[in-house]
Structure 1
């Protein structure tokens, strides 16, 4: 039996108790044409039916058990019912409580057979007691036929209600399982997305900063004992880069915007990246702004800054460039960032995207933009980012 049905089973208990008390009242008070022994015998039989229901039948019904124990229980209560009717015919009203027990506890066809047997018990008792009479064929037999038909209809309805309850319970279980699976997948997707976001942030900020510090340390070592001014310059750059990395790490932990954007506008942040490239590598970097400047959403500012940082990082490590041109173009319905270098270039078809380029594409996709890389061996590289804004 489904959980929902079991939860409201106490209503059936109340109904059965009311039927038992009402029939017991009729037997003890209204059955004036029978002996006291028959009255009390009928009451004992009815009480035994109740006891069997409480201690056995109720559990069988809740467990939806259809084995030999359930069948023995049903046969026993039908026999007790027959004894009660034989002793006091008025106790036939107990069928109002017995019939639902039979249909709930058994399959449809065995239940119909048992109910039909119970319906004809009064007629059988009358036949055994006084023999065939007009009252038997005019009243008791038609009542048995009509009662069997009516009880069968009620039983079919009960069975259908129980079947629908099982179906509903199955659907609810499937829905709960689906919701749990959706919740689990959503959680995993959120964890994966957050992990990728953090990986991208670390790659675009801390990792690049540490790479710059390592490069500056190596440059300072090469100048030791020869050019103290140059060594001091490298140390100053190392200190500034370390402080910027510290600010980026704090912003990352606090889930804030990049440190460069919290302190100034995106234009200042982009220009600082160009100056930093020149200071650290000697590459001539020019930053140009075209079009009418306007305020952009923070998420687009972040994508512009991170794309430029990754582009300049790749130029440091791979391009061997002498000049870099950075153009930020404000157009009518979009903003375009162009990063062009005159370095060695490469064949895009022969190189798979690294983590940095994949990170750039992922960020651009999140804001609905597009990213293209144009390059050829010996012809430099151009990275173009376009975002509607």
Structure 2
């Protein structure tokens, strides 16, 4: 794991948590400030050694400063913007040795500890890694003045100020690294949240696609598929009647044309995401009446629409609820055509209840062969139930072998 400061120099490496606490521009500015501070401090120290009254070896102090400066140029500076641990350790080792020599020969330039302590914490991999280097630096800066103090040549204030600087550096360095680590953790959490949000968005998109496919499948089943089934059946009956009964064949061909035109209109409406053509500029009762009449013409069965239980005025329903009732009637009549072998069919529209309990229902009842609903569910009825549940409605199928079938589609009146 690299330090938060080092992560600030660029994007995190692969597999590393978190992101940079500083922007790239902010980190560049910080590095420039560190370079300037080191250059100014080093220049002042060199001037102090050269023109001041040096008690120890001036040459040793100058060589230590030069070695420190060269190590910074070759190792320390590059280590601030790289991830090379060898440069970092090499520079810190040279810096501690240089401070030890300077403290022994010229303690007056130990003001450079301000720069040295800062560099320790900026170069440390982790907060706890800066602690031993800080102690090593403090020990190097204290050894010479402490020996001089034991000889009576140095006041205790010299080593004491160094130890105070040590305590201050430890407190500030650990606190700053703790703040940066917390920022790193927050950045990691933010990245995880963004990743989770992206996954959820992709999942919602996929669910939306599945739901749309299911909706289109229901629409095709309830409209186009049934229309094409009617066309096939009518074409077969027309072909059978053509040699012996041309008028009947002509009637079937006329119905085929009507069904084909309506199927074409349904296909266009589906592409445009409009409501069923039967409900375009028509009430629900009118649409059901046209459906009943066409079914009777297609099949030759006795078919009628009963609206006696509806009341004086038509139901106040939303377009979605009307679509559910119309599709329910279409699906029930399609099942009558395919399976019932019936002789008569009755459609009833009724309104029952009042207030929150009020609902409008469409019943399709035939006198056909019937079936066991528990055994034969059917894809169309399953799709119809899904459609009804979307508007808070329900579908009820009652039948028994030999007793006909009644399909009821119910939606609430709001």
Using a 3 Å threshold, how does the CA distance of structure 1 residues 269 and 17 change in structure 2: closer, same or farther?
same
Q: What is the CA–CA distance in structure 2 between the aligned matches of 1:135 and 1:369, rounded to whole Å?
A: 99
Structure 1 residue 88: Cα displacement: 5.5
Q: What is the CA–CA distance in structure 2 between the aligned matches of 1:98 and 1:5, rounded to whole Å?
A: 23
Using a 3 Å threshold, how does the CA distance of structure 1 residues 18 and 55 change in structure 2: closer, same or farther?
closer
Structure 1 residue 367: Cα displacement: 0.7
Which residue number corresponds to residue 52 of structure 1? Answer: 75
Structure 1 residue 114: Cα displacement: 1.3
What CA deviation, in whole Å up to 9, does each residue of 1:232-252 have, x standing for no partner? 111111111111011011011
Which residue number corresponds to residue 302 of structure 1? Answer: 323
RMSD of aligned alpha carbons? 2.6
Which residue number corresponds to residue 355 of structure 1? Answer: 379
Structure 1 residue 277: Cα displacement: 0.9
Which residue number corresponds to residue 145 of structure 1? Answer: 163
Counterparts of 1:59-74 in structure 2, within 5 Å, are 59-60=82-83, 70-74=88-92
Q: 148-157 vs 83-92, which deviates more?
A: 83-92
How many residue pairs get aligned? The number is 382
Q: What is the CA–CA distance in structure 2 between the aligned matches of 1:199 and 1:359, rounded to whole Å?
A: 9
SS at match of 1:345: coil
Counterparts of 1:337-348 in structure 2, within 5 Å, are 337-348=362-373
Counterparts of 1:115-264 in structure 2, within 5 Å, are 115-126=134-145, 132-134=150-152, 136=154, 138-264=156-282
TM-score computed with the length of structure 1 as normaliser = 0.88
Q: What is the CA–CA distance in structure 2 between the aligned matches of 1:47 and 1:90, rounded to whole Å?
A: 21
Question: Residues 145 and 154 of structure 2 are in contact (CA less than 8 Å); yes or no, is this contact kept in structure 1?
Answer: yes
Q: What is the CA–CA distance in structure 1 between the aligned matches of 2:219 and 2:101, rounded to whole Å?
A: 85
What CA deviation, in whole Å up to 9, does each residue of 1:142-190 have, x standing for no partner? 2232222222222221231232123112211211121111011101100
Q: What is the CA–CA distance in structure 1 between the aligned matches of 2:108 and 2:332, rounded to whole Å?
A: 97
Q: What is the CA–CA distance in structure 2 between the aligned matches of 1:142 and 1:92, rounded to whole Å?
A: 13
SS at match of 2:21: helix
Q: What is the CA–CA distance in structure 2 between the aligned matches of 1:305 and 1:95, rounded to whole Å?
A: 87
What CA deviation, in whole Å up to 9, does each residue of 1:223-273 have, x standing for no partner? 121111011111111111111011011011111111111242222111111
Unaligned runs of at least 5 residues, structure 1: none
Question: Residues 68 and 94 of structure 2 are in contact (CA less than 8 Å); yes or no, is this contact kept in structure 1?
Answer: no
- The answer as to 2:402 corresponding to 1:378 is yes
Question: Residues 42 and 83 of structure 1 are in contact (CA less than 8 Å); yes or no, is this contact kept in structure 2?
Answer: no
Question: Residues 20 and 184 of structure 2 are in contact (CA less than 8 Å); yes or no, is this contact kept in structure 1?
Answer: no
Which residue number corresponds to residue 5 of structure 1? Answer: 21
Using a 3 Å threshold, how does the CA distance of structure 1 residues 69 and 222 change in structure 2: closer, same or farther?
same
Unaligned runs of at least 5 residues, structure 2: 1-6, 8-17
Structure 1 residue 121: Cα displacement: 3.0
Q: 113-122 vs 311-320, which deviates more?
A: 113-122
